[in-house]
């Protein structure tokens, strides 16, 4: 069948686009390679999504989104997208479970954790190195862990890990955190979190599992080793845009859009963390998803009208 809109990615942006598309009467399909929910499934707690005065768990919020999408009858196609042919009037999404055709496509593929690229990182991934505190924190109950990064993710996850680990060492390469002040204040006040600022990771060391991290103080240039059982690498994200070869991307690989969230290809829109934007939050992802769906709806109406 020819869908009005194919939405790729089932995080907050994609699920909101699906919801708005269905409510606009579009024949929509949502393509997701894993579980619905995106990066938020790896987030313990969200304090800044409006409507939940006490905050809400990431998984609970995403399950609610999924139930709402289901209520409006959007079909979810669970498959891995392997190739996109977006330039023609009919857009083709080739997956490992068949091909989908649509009049429009909304890209909501989000982003994934960035790697550091230091020795030991790949070798010890799954053996002490992790990119997700909520997924792997329980393996470090009563143990000493290092958190690398100075953004919102590192600050939030350091606090989360402090509830599980015996000690959390938060290591940041600058002397000031990039993340929100309220989150930085929380970690500074937490007795179980030790801060090491102006310090750069050089290598992750161990035998079968992580046993220590090699560091360098960037003020004195002195190198030293800290013993630890786990290293959480939380140094930002990179866009999932490898397949978007027909779209105009910025130098970091984020999709460039206009204010209707249209890409450079007519009928192709982008929303959420995968597009170039100043603030990546659940609240901005859902706003994006709504705009992208309405833009797709206008495109379908206008092009159908011309046909
Ligand atoms: P981020 O804001 O890009 O921060 C990445 C951090 O990692 C920065 O402090 C950066 O240092 C450091 N870093 C980067 N490369 C490094 C390297 N090679 N070695 C050592 N340190 C390195 O990423 P994020 O914290 O994952 O957040 C991503 C987006 O999600 C942001 O827009 C954030 O606001 C949002 N977010 C929001 C919430 C919330 O509102 N509750 C929670 C999580 C994430 P520098 O500071 O020196 O660059």
- Count CB atoms within 10 A of the CB of residue 235: 20
Is 305's pLDDT higher than 80? no
Q: Tell me the per-residue pLDDT of 60-87, one tens digit each, with 9 for 90 and over.
A: 999 999 999 999 999 999 999 999 999 9
- Select which of 136, 152, 229, 288 is catalytic: 136
**Annotated catalytic, 228?**
no
| Residue 40 confidence (pLDDT) | 84
Q: Tell me the per-residue pLDDT of 262-283, one tens digit each, with 9 for 90 and over.
A: 999 999 999 999 999 999 999 9
Cβ-count burial of 216 within 10 angstroms (0-12 exposed, 13-18 middle, 19+ buried)?
middle
Q: Tell me the per-residue pLDDT of 118-135, one tens digit each, with 9 for 90 and over.
A: 999 999 999 999 999 988
Average pLDDT over residues 47-68: 95
Determine the distance separating the centroid of ligand 1 and the alpha carbon of 115, expressed in angstroms. 12
- Select which of 47, 97, 135, 304 is catalytic: 135
Question: In this structure, which residue's CA is closest to atom 18 in ligand 1?
Answer: 116
Question: In this structure, which residue's CA is closest to atom 13 in ligand 1?
Answer: 235
Is 307's pLDDT higher than 50? no
% of the chain surpassing 70 pLDDT = 99
Decide the pairing of beta strands 237-239 and 111-113: antiparallel
Which among 13, 147, 150 is the best mutation to test ligand 1's pocket, defined by most ligand atoms within 8 Å of the CB? Answer: 150
| Residue 306 confidence (pLDDT) | 52
Average pLDDT over residues 243-253: 97
236 lines ligand 1 (CB under 6 A): yes
Residue 291 DSSP SS3: helix
Is 3's pLDDT higher than 50? yes
Q: What angle do CA 291, 57, 143 make, to 5 degrees?
A: 130
Average pLDDT over residues 221-226: 98
């Amino acid at each position: 069948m020819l869908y009005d809109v194919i939405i790729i990615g089932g995080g907050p942006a994609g699920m909101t686009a699906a919801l708005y598309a269905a409510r606009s009467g579009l024949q929509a399909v949502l393509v997701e390679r894993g579980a619905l929910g995106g990066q938020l499934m790896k987030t313990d707690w969200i304090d800044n999504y409006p409507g939940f005065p006490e905050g809400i768990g990431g998984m609970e919020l995403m399950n609610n989104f999924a139930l709402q999408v289901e209520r409006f009858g959007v079909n979810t196609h669970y498959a891995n997208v392997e190739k996109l042919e977006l330039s023609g009037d009919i857009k083709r999404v080739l997956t490992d479970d068949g091909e989908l055709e649509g009049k429009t496509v909304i890209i909501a593929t989000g982003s994934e954790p960035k790697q550091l690229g230091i020795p030991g990182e790949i070798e010890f991934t799954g053996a002490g190195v992790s990119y997700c505190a909520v997924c792997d924190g329980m393996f470090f109950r009563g143990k000493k862990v290092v958190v690398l990064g100075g953004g919102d993710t590192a600050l939030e996850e350091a606090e989360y890990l402090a509830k599980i680990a015996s000690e959390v060492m938060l290591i940041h390469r600058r002397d000031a955190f990039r993340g929100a002040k309220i989150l930085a204040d929380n970690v500074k006040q937490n007795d179980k979190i030790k801060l090491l600022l102006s310090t750069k990771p050089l290598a992750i060391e161990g035998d079968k599992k992580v046993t220590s991290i090699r560091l360098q103080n960037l003020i004195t240039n002195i190198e030293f080793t800290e013993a630890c059982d786990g290293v959480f690498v939380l140094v930002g994200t990179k866009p999932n845009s490898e397949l978007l070869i027909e779209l105009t991307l910025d130098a970091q690989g984020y999709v460039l859009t206009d204010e209707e969230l249209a890409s450079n290809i007519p009928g192709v829109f982008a929303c959420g963390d995968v597009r170039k934007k100043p603030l990546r939050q659940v609240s901005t992802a859902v706003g994006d998803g709504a705009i992208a769906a309405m833009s797709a709806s206008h495109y379908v109406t206008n092009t159908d009208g011309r046909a």
